[in-house]
Amino acid sequence: LKREVERSRRLASVGKLAAGVAHEIRNPLSSIKGFATYFSERYKDNPNDLNIAQIMIKEVDRLNLVVGQLLEFARPVSLSPKRVDLDPFVDNCVKLVSMRARERGITIATVFDDAPETAFFDPDKISQVLLNLFLNAIEATEPGGSIDLNVNRPVGSSTLVLTVTDTGCGISDENLAHIFDPYFTTKASGTGLGLAVSHNIVEAHGGEIRIKSIEGEGTAITLVIPTKAEQTDHDKKLLDSGC
């Protein structure tokens, strides 16, 4: 127990440090991006210089992404669970990536199988996980492919089960052992933090992530999230009393 306490204390201080560093990096980045944007406007008639300015903007965006994900990973997950209406929640998650999917000629379909109408979890955090799964699925899938999100609750259980299935490249057994490792990526410009962060978030909910993947055929990633099926009177009382 003592070691556990020590570990969580250390993680908390690493989180604080990362937050401080991220803050110090983000401010100058935003001014660099401002100046790069200024140059891209100023040189819009000179293709060479314009190209350089645009690369600067893209690289700054990438740094921002990496810093953001690092922060997300280093910070201990703190949950704000709520009762969530699943239909609009899922719609919203799909909307966040629908542009990207359409650009690549990939369709996303949602299937509700015996799903509850509401469930109790942290909607911001779980939508972040779904976003990561969708982006990975889009990146793995060729134009013309499809992605399914399946929402379901096994009979008699109070777990919410969300599965994202793609018809993409699949994951080799060798890589499968590493996909949750922070910084593990097979992409030229990946950060390798998406699944590491997702794992932390699902774990904080007391849930788990399961993966089925066949190389060359596709991947199915399942989130199993324990959740109370219905809000009980006891919950209501707690909520009403503001606890």
Residues in 153-182 that interact with ligand ADP by CB under 6 A: 166, 168-169, 171, 175, 179
Residue 43: is it exposed, middle or buried by C-beta count within 10 angstroms (0-12/13-18/19+)? Answer: middle
- Torsion region of 192: left, alpha or beta (phi above 0 gives left; psi -120 to 50 gives alpha): left
- Torsion region of 56: left, alpha or beta (phi above 0 gives left; psi -120 to 50 gives alpha): alpha
What is the nearest approach in angstroms of ligand ADP to the Cβ of residue 159?
A: 22
Helices 47-74 and 2-42, packing angle to 10 deg: 160
- Residue 60 contacts residue 32 (beta carbons within 8 Å): yes
Based on the shown chain and the rule CB under 6 A, indicate whether residue 222 belongs to the binding site for ligand ADP. no
- Contacting residue, 60, 70, 106, 195, with ligand ADP by CB under 6 A: 195
- Contacting residue, 194, 199, 224, 227, with Mg ion by CB under 5 A: 194
Nearer to Mg ion, 84 or 179 (CB): 179
Residues in 88-147 that interact with Mg ion by CB under 5 A: 136
**Half-sphere exposure in the Cβ direction for 216 (13 Å, CA):** 0
Size of the site for ligand ADP (CB under 6 A): 22
Nearer to ligand ADP, 143 or 156 (CB): 143
Residue 232: is it exposed, middle or buried by C-beta count within 10 angstroms (0-12/13-18/19+)? Answer: exposed
Nearer to ligand ADP, 158 or 186 (CB): 186
- Contacting residue, 89, 192, 205, 209, with ligand ADP by CB under 6 A: 192
Based on the shown chain and the rule CB under 5 A, indicate whether residue 219 belongs to the binding site for Mg ion. no
Residue 158: is it exposed, middle or buried by C-beta count within 10 angstroms (0-12/13-18/19+)? Answer: middle
Nearer to ligand ADP, 123 or 194 (CB): 194
Based on the shown chain and the rule CB under 6 A, indicate whether residue 187 belongs to the binding site for ligand ADP. yes
- Partners of 220 in the beta sheet? 165, 212
Based on the shown chain and the rule CB under 6 A, indicate whether residue 144 belongs to the binding site for ligand ADP. no
Residues that bind ligand ADP in the complex, under the rule CB under 6 A? 132, 136-137, 140, 166, 168-169, 171, 175, 179, 184-187, 190-196, 219
| Residues at the interface with Mg ion (CB under 5 A) | 136, 194
